[in-house]
Amino acid sequence: MKNQNELSNSIIRLSNIMDKLRIECPWDKEQTMNSLRHLTIEETYELSDAIISGDFNEIKNELGDLLLHIVFYSKIASETNLFNFNDVINSICDKLIIRHPHIYDKLNVNNINDVKKNWELIKLKNGSKGVLSGVSSRLPSLIKAMRIQEKVSGVGFKWDKPSDYLNKLVEEINEFEVESNKSDSQKMENEFGDILFSLISYANFKNINCDKALEITNNKFIDRFNYIEKNNIDLYKMSQNELLKQWEKSKN
């Protein structure tokens, strides 16, 4: 009960602060949902960076920033009687209960795949226009491909064996090579997209987050290249063999 009271008091405190800022702060009272949108995206990426770095104090801070944005949007909406923060909380509570009948009702599930499949079926029964209708068209291409793969695999549109994914990947690489030999840039681009999509499909099967994996590699590459730059005055005068030697040295 003590923890529940502390949580309630914290939410009320944040809500009261938001009310006060909206009235008294020149910047806060001028904001709209549209003016906050890009800031919310930025905060989401900052949270992502904190999670990847494993900095739990920073994760806590960035979660607070995102929570503030949720309260801010809710406050703006409440001013024209559209909805309020309480409505937002109850909406997600209702959704979670409806989509977890294996917890809140008598549905039996055997594994995580049953849960995913049932989640999508419930969405379809409750007005979703299709399995992929919830995938935002504005997502970055990599994230969009990941979400598409997650959605379709959730209703059973997937292979069961790793070899099937690898065979598909090899097939797409071979098709790319055919178009590459013809020097058809447009078809090469299309086939290369198929390679990436197949690779993401395989990663999804292996429960690998492609976006996280790529970001780890990006940071690793930056660290190693920064090492080479730091220890060599003029990279442009180094031969390719010298650069490769320095690259191998940076790995250690």
Note the pLDDT tens digit of each residue in 154-203.
888 899 899 999 999 999 999 999 999 999 899 999 999 999 999 999 99
In a domain, 10, yes or no: yes
Structure confidence at residue 2 (pLDDT):
58
**65, 80, 95: which is the final residue of a domain?**
80
Give the torsion through C-alpha atoms of 244, 246, 247, 252, to 10 deg.
Answer: 140
CA atoms within 13 A on the CB side of 211: 14
Structure confidence at residue 233 (pLDDT):
66
On whether both 228 and 242 belong to a single domain, the answer is yes
Which domain CATH number covers 191? 1.10.287.1080
In a domain, 99, yes or no: no
In a domain, 234, yes or no: yes
pLDDT in tens, 4-57: 888 889 999 999 999 999 999 999 999 999 999 999 999 999 998 899 889 999
CA distance 62 to 48: 9
116, 154 in Cβ contact below 8 A?
yes
pLDDT in tens, 134-149: 888 888 999 999 999 9
On whether both 16 and 64 belong to a single domain, the answer is yes
pLDDT in tens, 53-87: 899 999 999 999 999 999 999 999 999 999 999 99
Domains in the chain: how many in total? 3
Q: Which residues form the domain of 199?
A: 135-211
CA distances from 184 to 168, 177, 195 (A): 22, 11, 16
215, 52 in Cβ contact below 8 A?
yes
On whether both 171 and 229 belong to a single domain, the answer is no
Q: What is the mean pLDDT of residues 227-244?
A: 84
On whether both 217 and 204 belong to a single domain, the answer is no
